[in-house]
Amino acid sequence: MMATEGSRGSIRLRNSIALSFVHICTSIGLLSYHVNAEYTTVDSSERSFLERLSLGPEYFTTMDKVLFGVLVLLGLELINFVAGSSGYWMNSKTIPVRGKHLDDFRSRDLLFIGISKAQTAPFSYFFVKYLISESNVLWSLDDISLKTLLLPLPLYFIVFDFFYTILHWALHIKAIYGFVHKHHHIQKAPSRANHDAINVHPLEFFLGEYNHLLAVYLCCHHLNLQVHALSTVLFLGVGGVLAGWNHTRFDIEFAPFGIMVFDSKAHDVHHRIPQSNYGQYTMFWDRVFGSYRPYDPKDRVNSKSQLDPKTGKSYEYAEGKSL
């Protein structure tokens, strides 16, 4: 059916209202934790910015917290840019679209993406607060070494994905699926990097995000692993890029010494065949638990379902708009 100008205008208006609401929610999410002077043990205004920074979030002034929240959001956009562009920089092949591509975000999608972004700033606040309090986290530049910076990374990801794989599997239990995780699976062929990755129910994002903090806590506090603070930053940054790659059409693999560590196609399989490949960063635990399903390049491909590189939307979407 041909869409009238009135209906298109109504859709644009609803999308505009939804986007504005997202911005409002993001602002509320940031500001909700900025003004908490009662947790400050001293008059922070008497200290220099570098002193407050070195002492940790509890000593931040209100404007420090506003700046911190803005920097977190800028970091999110940088990670999304890297994840969405690096495949071109590496001349990566693309994964053919086999599932239904969500060509237009709905109002709910925009709302949930905004809430996810808003949740990231408080998470980062508490993450840094924990790092400050953890005796096994090192801060001096003199303590940077292969052992404290890079060697902890594989352990972070393995510990994270153990709990994430179980959580993800639980969210697919029939009695729970429709209330939380079903929203994420409206997109059968993710392509927008982190915007598709964080288009999840707020509860799911909360559980997945704080799973990063759990992984670092277990490694440092219970495994007594000494790590540099920059190692945990790398964990979050690299993890953000990997999660973004999982939600692009880039075919990216890392297989050092012939051992497959990361394959973006595995998560593409999950979006089409949900009862498989529950891991976020690696399929190690899926192989252990028997839920791993390999990518099959022989699966049928519909040419009309492929994405137009100029618009990022499917060719069948363009045909429907032209009718």
Please check the confidence at residue 2 and state whether its pLDDT lies above 70: no
**pLDDT tens for residues 195-212?**
999 999 999 999 999 999
Residue 217 Cα distances to 79, 125, 134, 202, 274, angstroms: 24, 15, 8, 23, 30
Give the pLDDT band of residue 83 (cuts 50, 70, 90): very high
Give the HSE-up count for residue 94: Cα atoms under 13 Å, Cβ half-sphere.
17
What does the mean pLDDT of the chain come to? 88
pLDDT band for position 98 (50/70/90)? very high
- Confidence bin at 4 (pLDDT 50/70/90): very low
Compute and round to an integer the Cα radius of gyration of the chain: 21
pLDDT of residue 46: 66
Domain ranges of the chain: 5-322
Query: Which DSSP string corresponds to 59-115?
Result: G--HHHHHHHHHHHHHHHHHHHHHHHHHHHHTT-EEPPP-S----S--HHHHHHHHH
Per the CB < 8 A criterion, the answer to whether 101 and 271 are in contact is no
Contacts 24+ apart (CB under 8 A), 75-79: 75/237, 76/117, 76/120, 76/194, 76/240, 79/194, 79/237, 79/240, 79/241, 79/244
pLDDT at 24 over 70: no
More confident residue, 44 or 170: 170
Which CB contacts under 8 angstroms, 24+ apart, belong to 146-154? 147/226, 148/226, 148/227, 148/228, 148/231, 149/227, 149/228, 149/230, 149/231, 149/234, 150/231, 150/234, 152/219, 152/225, 152/227, 152/231, 152/235, 153/231, 153/234, 153/235, 153/238
Q: Is the pTM of this model over 0.75?
A: yes
Output the pLDDT for position 318. Answer: 74
| 290 or 11, higher pLDDT | 290
The pLDDT confidence band at residue 60, using thresholds 50, 70 and 90, is confident
- 244-283: per-residue pLDDT in tens? 999 999 999 999 999 999 999 999 999 999 999 999 999 9
